[in-house]
Homo-oligomer: A and B are copies of this chain.
Amino acid sequence: MIAERTVTDWWSTAVSEIQPGEIRLRGYPVEELIGRVTFAEQIWLMLRGELPTPGQGRLLEAALVAAVDHGPQAPSIAAARMAATCGVGLNSAVATGAGLLGDVHGGAGQQCMEVLQRVVDGEEAPAIVAEYRRRRAYIPGFGHRFHPRDPRRDPLLALVQEAVHAGEVPGRALEAGLALEAALAEGRERPVPMNIDGATAIIYAELGFPSELGRGLFVLSRSVGILAHAWEETENGARIKGPLPRPLLAGYHGVPKRHPDRMPDPHVPFEDASSSKT
């Protein structure tokens, strides 16, 4: 005999409490949240344990809205589109896309939050920029290989600034981000403006999210684009969609044709179906 607590404690949570006829999320009966909070506010509640203020909620909505999609060129989107043609449900297509948002493809916002924190903690932005330059690395959240200036930067930063002026967020992460941007521009003809990862990193940092959740929130946001693209492919009705259209063959640059010589031929010849009398 073992104590029931041993096993139910193993799965104990502070997120939700479920009893027959009752579902409480972070203490609130779900029926009192429905119709009263937006989806973004619910996301905040579930991750943070408390409801956001209206100003906090507005910033979160904006960040989630901004990052939903960047076209089918992104591997997370392309893989989800392919998945949708392989006979798996939309849930698997979303899983395929979300799974690809790893450190390289989905981690820049999280990494940028960590750099912002260093500045907030007192390091000088130019010193950090110099450090990255020394190891020939990009500062996550700045610059874009495609957009000279990411169109999502300005409206997001404007909303943060507005929230700072209204006293809704402290503004230190915004200050840190702008300091890094200025340090990056120093002595260059073309500036290296903040990209979507940098701008949302500022918002998530201003709102007090830990950096790991920066990734988590990006995953929720991008899952919307993943779903939209997977659904488009589902509606198209394509089957087994590969990266290249049918007439094209992927190239080959390996060893030329050769034969295994180490083993004797074990094969009994197999007569053609037409003549087979098995």
Give every chain B residue within 8 A of A46 (Cβ-Cβ). Answer: 68-69, 224-225, 227-228
Give every chain B residue within 8 A of A248 (Cβ-Cβ). Answer: 2, 4, 6-8
Are A23 and B240 in touch, CB under 8 angstroms? no
Cα of A40 to Cα of B267 in the assembled complex, Å: 20
Give every chain B residue within 8 A of A147 (Cβ-Cβ). Answer: 20-21, 23
Other-chain residue from B165, B215, B274, B276 in contact with A89 (beta carbon distance below 8 A):
B215
Count of chain copies: 4
Cα of A3 to Cα of B165 in the assembled complex, Å: 53
- Which A residues, 65 to 82, have Cβ-Cβ distances below 8 Å to chain B? 65-66, 68-76, 78-79, 82
Q: Which residue of B lies closest to A28 (CB)?
A: B260
A121 located at the interface, meaning its Cβ lies under 8 Å from any Cβ of chain B in the complex: no
Are A251 and B9 in touch, CB under 8 angstroms? yes
Beyond A88-B92, A94-B98, A259-B32, is A251–B12 a contact (Cβ under 8 Å)? yes
The number of chain A residues touching the other chain, given as a range, is: 35 or more
A190 located at the interface, meaning its Cβ lies under 8 Å from any Cβ of chain B in the complex: no
Give every chain B residue within 8 A of A102 (Cβ-Cβ). Answer: 83, 86-89, 91-92
A36 located at the interface, meaning its Cβ lies under 8 Å from any Cβ of chain B in the complex: yes
A128 located at the interface, meaning its Cβ lies under 8 Å from any Cβ of chain B in the complex: no
- Shortest CB–CB separation between residue A71 and chain B, in angstroms? 4
Cα of A33 to Cα of B152 in the assembled complex, Å: 10
A178 located at the interface, meaning its Cβ lies under 8 Å from any Cβ of chain B in the complex: yes
A118 located at the interface, meaning its Cβ lies under 8 Å from any Cβ of chain B in the complex: no
A/B interface sample: 19 pairs, CB < 8 A: A10-B243, A11-B72, A17-B257, A21-B149, A26-B255, A28-B259, A31-B155, A35-B266, A36-B266, A51-B260, A86-B102, A91-B98, A91-B99, A91-B102, A92-B92, A94-B223, A155-B267, A193-B273, A220-B227
Q: Besides the contacts A39-B60, A164-B278, A174-B278, what 13 more A-B pairs have beta carbons closer than 8 Å?
A: A20-B148, A27-B257, A28-B258, A34-B156, A39-B39, A46-B69, A75-B82, A75-B241, A86-B102, A86-B104, A90-B213, A159-B268, A220-B224
